[in-house]
Structure 1
Amino acid sequence: MKCRSLAFALLLSITLGGCWEKQAAEPPSPHRMTAEDIGRYCGMNLFEHPGPKGQIFAASLIEPVWFSSVRDTIAFTMLPDEPKDIQAIYVSDMGKAPSWDKPGADNWVEARKALFVIGSRAKGGMGGDEAVPFSDRAAAEKFVGENGGRIVTFDQVPRNYVLSSDGAKESTSADDGDARRPPNE
């Protein structure tokens, strides 16, 4: 009887351990943007800025980190002093946005699955060049037709497009290096 109880307890702990691992592996769902959400780098209310927004979840942080622009969202992933235990990165899906001025409170797409238009005439939340996200290629192509730019994936957004002070000096050369590599690597 004692052997059965021990075997049952061991089986239960393995089963529950598997459930906990599965739960931990699933990324958090995006939060709905509210009037209380403040941009990490500008310290201002997100609703005060036009254009797409972003939110990042990190295991070491209790709440999501909010961004007034997608360019700032991507920069967070490149900067060496920011947390690297990122669980999910969500950006406004501008193909589903009501307008540029009102990008939507809950139309998020996982950034690593999105397409981005870079080098367009559209300016982001703080007036800088923006990486405009879309979940649908046709919507991204339509945006390019109206605003210029080119379509890239998350990993193809050039570091200097995100981290330069003006963002406009987009690199198209092959020697730009890995877009995701942090500075000084």
Structure 2
Amino acid sequence: MINIRTVALLGSALFLVGCSSEAAVQNAPDPIALTEEAAGHYCQMVILEHDGPKAQMYLAGMQNPLWFSQVRDGLAYIKSPEQSAEILVMYVNDMGKAKSWSEPGDMNWIRADEAYYVVGSDAKGGMGAPELAPFSSKEKALEFAALRGGEVKLLDEISAQAVLAPVDEEGSDQ
């Protein structure tokens, strides 16, 4: 039989777990400016040399972020079944504030879990693969989708298949 003290202890423990995960989110590192030194995690190429939005991700125990030449690559890292590192936060370029597709910006970062993504458009990312275009504004995402195709989704609505599936190399020009 469960007594009131046991229920109170369990409730306190669950509250602390919830608070600690909230604290981890609140204590996540801020995004940093994209510089010439930033190299893509997968390709090890200077990512400023590539068009389209980028991503930066902080993992527990690492002082510097992992950089991704494409948002798709960052989401592939998150959704990969092999991924086991604790992700503190991921940031993506807000394409609603970008000068252009070729100049996504070096400090217009938004949290990946707060972005609206256009999935399935004709946009190609820095490595020539289909890209997911992130926006802080749902309206700007809808405008982009109306011009370039695709549909607007939140991060948890994007399937692993959408970012892990092989890419057709034909027609990979932007």
TM-score in same-fold range (> 0.5): yes
- List alignment gaps of at least 5 residues for structure 1: 1-20, 169-185
Aligned to 1:162: 163
Aligned to 2:8: none
Aligned to 2:14: none
Aligned Cα root-mean-square deviation (Å): 2.1
Residues 23 and 69 of structure 1: CA distance in aligned 2, closer, same or farther (over 3 Å): closer
Residues 121 and 23 of structure 1: CA distance in aligned 2, closer, same or farther (over 3 Å): closer
Shift in Å, 1:60 = 2.4
How many pairs are equivalent? 149
The two structures have a TM-score, normalised by structure 1, of 0.75
Aligned to 1:126: 127
Aligned to 2:85: 84
Residues 148 and 23 of structure 1: CA distance in aligned 2, closer, same or farther (over 3 Å): closer
Shift in Å, 1:48 = 1.1
- In structure 1, give the amino acid aligned to 2:90: I
Shift in Å, 1:25 = 4.6
- In structure 2, give the amino acid aligned to 1:140: A
- State the Cα deviation string for residues 68-117 of structure 1 (Å, max 9, x = none): 00000001112244343111110000000011001000000100010000
For 1:40 and 1:27, the matched residues in 2 are separated by: 20
Aligned to 1:59: 60
Shift in Å, 1:45 = 0.4
- List alignment gaps of at least 5 residues for structure 2: 1-21, 170-174
For 1:22 and 1:130, the matched residues in 2 are separated by: 32
Residues 29 and 88 of structure 1: CA distance in aligned 2, closer, same or farther (over 3 Å): same
For 1:121 and 1:23, the matched residues in 2 are separated by: 36
For 1:164 and 1:140, the matched residues in 2 are separated by: 23
Residues 60 and 79 of structure 1: CA distance in aligned 2, closer, same or farther (over 3 Å): farther
For 2:28 and 2:62, the matched residues in 1 are separated by: 14
